[in-house]
Amino acid sequence: MAIPLKNIKCVNQSQNVEKPTQKYINIVTEDDFDFWLMGVVKYQKTFKYIEQAISQASLDEYNKSTIRA
């Protein structure tokens, strides 16, 4: 599965209330689809890298629009 970064609205962390070791990453796209990543081996690192990638893509998009103006 591949989701273009420009289509990602947000990313969230979640965990099972009854089993806190079961953690999930929720990716919500601009068209309001939910993608749940479960069983991620390096959960914190993966979440951090996804957030950084989204942030960088947003900054790149902003810079492109600023240059065109």
Q: What is the pLDDT of residues 26-50, one digit of tens each?
A: 999 999 999 999 999 999 999 999 9
Q: Strands, E, within the chain: which ranges? A: 8-15, 23-29, 34-38
pTM of the entire predicted model: 0.80
**pLDDT tops 90 at residue 63:** no
pLDDT class for 58, splitting at 50, 70, 90? confident
Give domain limits for the chain. 5-68
pLDDT class for 68, splitting at 50, 70, 90? low
What rounded mean pLDDT belongs to the chain? 90
Query: How far apart are the C-alpha atoms of 50 and 26, rounded to whole Å?
Result: 11
How many other CB atoms are found less than 10 A from the CB of residue 11? 17
Phi and psi for 31 in degrees, rounded to 5? -95, 20
